[in-house]
Amino acid sequence: MIEYENLKKLNQPFFEEYKSRFDDVLESGWYILGKDVEKFEENFSKFNSSKYTIGVASGLDALVLSLKAFNFEKNDEVIVPSNTYIATILSIIHNGLKPVLVEPNIQTYNIDPKKIVEKITNKTKAIMVVHLYGQPCDMKPILEIANKYNLKIIEDCAQAHGAEYFGQKVGTFGIGAFSFYPTKNLGALGDGGAVTTNDDIIKDTIMKLRNYGSSEKYHNELVGYNSRLDEMQACFLDVKLKYLDDITNHKRNLAKIYMENLDDRFVKPIEKEGYKNVYHIFAIRYERRDKLKEYLLQNNIKTEIHYPVAPHKQEAMKNIITDNFPISQEIHETILSLPISYYHTENDIKRVVEVINNYDR
Ligand SMILES: *Cc1c(COP(=O)(O)O)cnc(C)c1O
């Protein structure tokens, strides 16, 4: 059986280092906002060429607090792709703001910059981009629009740790919101997230927001939250961060095997000059996706669907998003994620290619 993912096998190479760092945290007697969080924040900033990293409790919280830091007014609008994981849209709603969905490009699966301007109104305050599956968005036209209309940029980097657009890391074009959910390219052994920024005021605000609105104990300047990355997760993340480039290179190498060998009847991800995709997910499209998924399972290959239900079709959104989004819909109906874990070998992937290319229905 080739599994889609296996979190134990994925983390096994790091077990010894995890255990040693965990022992230090245990013995230190200091478990929330201490030196391991600080150290990880510093190292992640270096990795990402960001001035600051602020550890928070999850990827969703990183998005929620990023928006909160701008102090937008109730019912202000935020542009967001119609093709994303629901968390992106939830963060806007939780801030009392209105999500304005924009269709993706059918080849990149990311927000289509050409369709943004028509959705801008005098209430639009920000564009929340999502570097989906690890593929960076086309940032140049998006930054031009943001400048022209004076909009903030928030990047959902939950699937794109280390991805680059013409040599620049994602999470440095605006505010970056990262998730360290265990399956992500940089995954913890529990929940975690971080915000990256080059702005001193945003950094100070998010440092307060994550800790009850306080920078000095028992003095609360803002209406804050409890959203802190804990010392234990930070120590695991700090270990894994050292290997993130290896993880990325391994996944890109596996992606290359798919790209070079998969039949063209399966729609492969697009690779464009200047875009460094970190392949959090290797997604193909195929018209009879469900049948293909079933066939692969019969041949002992597990796959996933990211995602089976489009945000605008979710029960929770029925009174919030009322328009139709046919491109997003089409992607949701045809997309299929193939195995591409750090623990998979080249032979695993060659086996997947062989089986899938033999599909004759
Ligand atoms: C995983 C993910 C999130 C949410 O991250 P959590 O840490 O699970 O809260 C947000 N956006 C995208 C695109 C994601 O893939």
For the chain, the domains span: 7-102+110-238, 243-358
For the question of whether the overall pTM of this predicted structure is more than 0.95, the answer is yes
The structure tokens listed for 87 are 């968390």
Q: How confident is the model at residue 361 (pLDDT cuts 50, 70, 90)?
A: confident
Out of 3.90.1150.10, 1.10.10.10, 2.70.150.10, 3.60.10.10, the CATH code matching 243-358 is: 3.90.1150.10
90: nearest Cα among 61, 121, 70: 61
Residue 266 has pLDDT above 90, yes or no: yes
Cα gap 309→180, rounded to integer Å: 23
The protein residue whose alpha carbon is closest to atom 5 in ligand 1 is 59
What spacing in Å lies between the alpha carbon of 251 and ligand 1's midpoint? Answer: 19
53: nearest Cα among 160, 266, 268, 198: 198
Cα gap 336→278, rounded to integer Å: 17
- Which of ligand 1's atoms lies nearest the C-alpha of 91? 10
Q: How confident is the model at residue 110 (pLDDT cuts 50, 70, 90)?
A: very high
Which pLDDT tens digit goes with each residue over 175-228? 999 999 999 999 999 999 999 999 999 999 999 999 999 999 999 999 999 999
Residue 43 has pLDDT above 90, yes or no: yes
What spacing in Å lies between the alpha carbon of 299 and ligand 1's midpoint? Answer: 30
- 38 contacts: CB under 8 Å, gap ≥ 6: none
- pLDDT given for residue 118 in this prediction: 98
Average model confidence (pLDDT) across the chain: 98
Q: Name the DSSP letter for residue 136.
A: P
Residue 288 has pLDDT above 90, yes or no: yes
- Kindly report the CATH number that applies to the domain delimited by 7-102+110-238: 3.40.640.10
- Please list the active-site residues: 184
The structure tokens listed for 298 are 């019969």
Ligand 1, pocket-test mutation among 128, 159, 178, most atoms within 8 A of CB: 159
Q: How confident is the model at residue 53 (pLDDT cuts 50, 70, 90)?
A: very high
Averaged pLDDT, 133-140: 98
Ligand 1 binding pocket includes 87 (Cβ within 6 Å):
yes
Cα gap 283→277, rounded to integer Å: 12
Cα gap 20→36, rounded to integer Å: 13
The protein residue whose alpha carbon is closest to atom 6 in ligand 1 is 59
Ligand 1 binding pocket includes 181 (Cβ within 6 Å):
yes
Ligand 1 binding pocket includes 155 (Cβ within 6 Å):
no
The structure tokens listed for 157 are 């980097």
What whole-number percentage of the chain has pLDDT above 90? Answer: 99
Ligand 1, pocket-test mutation among 56, 65, 85, most atoms within 8 A of CB: 85
Q: Helix, strand, coil % (nearest 5) of the chain?
A: 40, 20, 40
